[in-house]
Amino acid sequence: MTKIQESGDRVVANVERVIVGKHHEVQLALVALLCRGHLLIEDVPGTGKTVLAKAIAKSLGSSFRRIQFTPDLLPSDVTGLSIYNQKTQEFEFRPGPIMSQVVLADEINRATPKTQSALLECMEERQATIDGISHQMPDPFLVIATQNPIEYEGTFALPEAQLDRFMLRLRMGYPTPTEEIVILEEQKRVHPLDSLGEVCPVEELREMQAAVREIYVDASVAEYIVRLVNATRTHPDIYLGASPRGSIALYRAGQARAALLGRDYVIPDDVKTLAGPALAHRVIIKTSSSIREVDAETVVRELLDSVPVDAPARPGGPRRIEAEAPRGR
């Protein structure tokens, strides 16, 4: 696991040359990448959402494409289309921008539901079917989507099926005054993104993705994940709870976080740290609760306080930590 931690630290340090003061957010993005998951960044304009996607692509030396979602964008503009070649008298497939290793779906909620649905197959099955022929996505394949949470005019809310395909959702947030001064100084002459180089080859990333799957998850930790996800389905303020895909996302993300921290086993703290980014966007709050300003993040925090945790055992050790036996008289 030391190799994964070292490689992860190199990528995080390289991205932080551009993204200042957002260590946790950068680490979450790397967690999604190691789990072959996708990332939804929801924040106001100008907080570094696009720069984060570009910095990750440059750090990995992977191909990068940006799709600017607008109301007139068509599904074929995303996935590609077949064009008739008069010379060969055959149809030739012209791949769309989705056929890239790192894809930035900028302002994804500005496209129509028809265009948004073009991403469903690409993100889940990692293929696009055009004219009855399936075309595989490149490996690795990461979709980083952004949306503005304060603008609703001219937007189309992402359906539950689309939100559920994003492994994690995060918010960048504004920098502190000190961090903002650092940003001004670094961009005084040139943008640091221009000089960003590759620190982790794609082949090494594939090896890390395979190694992460071998991280040990104790049965008690898996049970804790299931109890936590099930609690979202019975909470009085929640209309629709997290799906089994949410359980899998939390399980895989815990493995990746443990590996990035140099551990070969997952602990409950990994689950607690990742519960908000992995579950909050998968639940729907009841209208009556929304009126009382109850949001998904608040509910997830409540569940973390109320759902009991069983202490996990180390690999090969006992399943739970038993209570200390009473001493003889």
Q: How does pLDDT run across 163-178, given as a tens digit for each residue?
A: 899 999 998 888 899 9
| Residue limits of CATH 1.10.8.80 in the chain | 214-310
Q: Can you tell me the mean pLDDT for 192-205?
A: 88
pLDDT of amino acid 326? 40
Q: Can you tell me the mean pLDDT for 53-64?
A: 89
pLDDT of amino acid 325? 38
> Identity (one letter) of the amino acid at 278?
A
Q: Can you tell me the mean pLDDT for 257-267?
A: 93
Contact (Cβ atoms closer than 8 angstroms) between residue 98 and residue 79: yes
Quick check: helix, strand or coil at residue 84?
strand
Q: Is the pLDDT of residue 150 over 50?
A: yes
| Residue limits of CATH 3.40.50.300 in the chain | 1-212
pLDDT of amino acid 1? 59
Q: 49-60 and 2-15 are packed helices; what angle lies between their axes, rounded to 10 degrees?
A: 130
pLDDT of amino acid 131? 83
- Render pLDDT for 83-123 as a digit per residue (tens, 0 to 9): 888 888 888 888 999 999 999 999 998 999 999 988 899 99
pLDDT of amino acid 32? 93
For β-strands 90-95 and 80-85, DSSP reports them as antiparallel
pLDDT of amino acid 292? 87
Q: Is the pLDDT of residue 60 over 80?
A: yes
- Render pLDDT for 222-235 as a digit per residue (tens, 0 to 9): 999 999 999 999 99
Q: Which residues of 95-104 are buried (b: 16+ CB within 10 A; e: fewer)?
A: ebbbbbbbbb
State the pTM of this model: 0.86
pLDDT of amino acid 130? 86
Contact (Cβ atoms closer than 8 angstroms) between residue 41 and residue 144: yes
Burial class of residue 231 (count of CB atoms within 10 Å of its CB; 0-12, 13-18, 19+): buried
Quick check: helix, strand or coil at residue 232?
helix
Q: Is the pLDDT of residue 25 over 70?
A: yes
pLDDT of amino acid 9? 92
Q: How far is CA 185 from the centre of its chain?
A: 30
Fold of 214-310: Helicase, Ruva Protein; domain 3 (1.10.8)
What is the torsion angle, in degrees rounded to the nearest 10, for the CA atoms of residue 63, residue 66, residue 72 and residue 78? 20
pLDDT: which is higher, 317 or 136:
136
What percent of the chain clears pLDDT 90, i.e. is strictly above it? Answer: 47
Residues, the chain: 329
pLDDT of amino acid 86? 85
Contact (Cβ atoms closer than 8 angstroms) between residue 5 and residue 221: no
pLDDT of amino acid 38? 93
- Render pLDDT for 200-212 as a digit per residue (tens, 0 to 9): 888 999 999 999 9
Name every residue whose Cβ is closer than 8 Å to that of residue 187 and which is 6 or more positions away in sequence.
none
What percent of the chain clears pLDDT 70, i.e. is strictly above it? Answer: 93
CA 313 – CA 310 distance, rounded (Å): 9
Fold of 1-212: Rossmann fold (3.40.50)
Name every residue whose Cβ is closer than 8 Å to that of residue 226 and which is 6 or more positions away in sequence.
247
Name the pLDDT band for 49 (thresholds 50, 70, 90).
confident
Q: Can you tell me the mean pLDDT for 180-193?
A: 86
Q: Can you tell me the mean pLDDT for 126-143?
A: 89
Least reliable range by pLDDT among 124-133, 161-170, 318-327? 318-327
pLDDT of amino acid 311? 55
pLDDT of amino acid 314? 54
